[in-house]
Amino acid sequence: LKTLKAPIQRDKNDVDVMVGKNLFDQIDCAKCHTPTMQTGYSPIEVLSYKEFNPYTDLLLHDMGAELDDGYTEGYALTSEWKTPPLWGLGLSKDSQGGLYYLMHDGRAFSIDQAIQLHGGEANQSRSLYNQLSEGEKTQLIKFLESL
């Protein structure tokens, strides 16, 4: 499993996808959904010190009351969630009967709905997203679906 290839971004040269990526950065989604990381040393040479694009920081963040389900795992508070990788997001519908089931419990049926559930530390990014025009939101979502 260690050597399985990560999902490859699709349509990255599409103008709307490129604009959507810039919007992703501008509204600070990349603060937690960090685009690029690097592996450390691995005894498997092809895995050592390689850049990859998971779109996560792998850290816990307070996501606010909207996602506080009263349950905890380990040392996390009930409103804290680890940033999920966004790589492969646009492929997830293919494995879920053509539908999205997003967030930790599948409660969001669209990328827009998932963004609307971001509170707490992500409240500012959600607010900035809501200020985008409909066209800009479409471009941002097209970028996310390219991952």
Q: Is pLDDT at 2 greater than 90 in this prediction?
A: no
Question: 126 and 115 in contact (C-beta within 8 Å)?
Answer: yes
Q: What is the pLDDT of residue 22?
A: 98
> Whole-angstrom Cα distance, residue 52 to residue 73?
28
Q: Mean pLDDT across the stretch 44-64?
A: 95
Q: For the segment 91-147, what is each residue's pLDDT rounded down to a tens digit? A: 998 888 889 999 988 999 999 999 999 999 999 999 999 999 999 999 999 999 999
Q: Is pLDDT at 3 greater than 90 in this prediction?
A: no
Q: Is pLDDT at 72 greater than 90 in this prediction?
A: no
Q: Mean pLDDT across the stretch 80-94?
A: 93
Q: What is the pLDDT of residue 6?
A: 87
H/E stretch holding 54: none
Q: How many other β-carbons are positioned within 10 Å of the β-carbon of residue 94?
A: 9
Q: What is the pLDDT of residue 95?
A: 87
Q: What is the pLDDT of residue 5?
A: 85
Q: For the segment 34-51, what is each residue's pLDDT rounded down to a tens digit? A: 999 999 999 999 999 999
Q: Which residue has the higher pLDDT, 2 or 43?
A: 43
